[in-house]
Amino acid sequence: MNPRTIGWLLGGVCCANGILTMIISWDSGGNDIALSLSRVGWDALGDLGPNEHFPLAIASLLIGVPTLLYLNATQWRNTGGY
Q: What pLDDT, in 10s, does the model give residues 19-44?
A: 999 988 888 766 677 776 666 666 66
- Residue 26: enclosing H or E segment and its boundaries? strand 26-27
Q: Give the pLDDT score at 44.
A: 66
Q: Give the pLDDT score at 76.
A: 78
- Measured distance CA(50)–CA(26) in Å, rounded: 5
Is residue 45 over pLDDT 80?
no
Instruction: Give burial (CB, 10 Å; 0-12/13-18/19+) of 60.
Output: buried
- φ, ψ of residue 42 in degrees (nearest 5): -70, -10
- φ, ψ of residue 3 in degrees (nearest 5): -60, -30
Q: Give the pLDDT score at 30.
A: 67
pTM above threshold 0.85: no
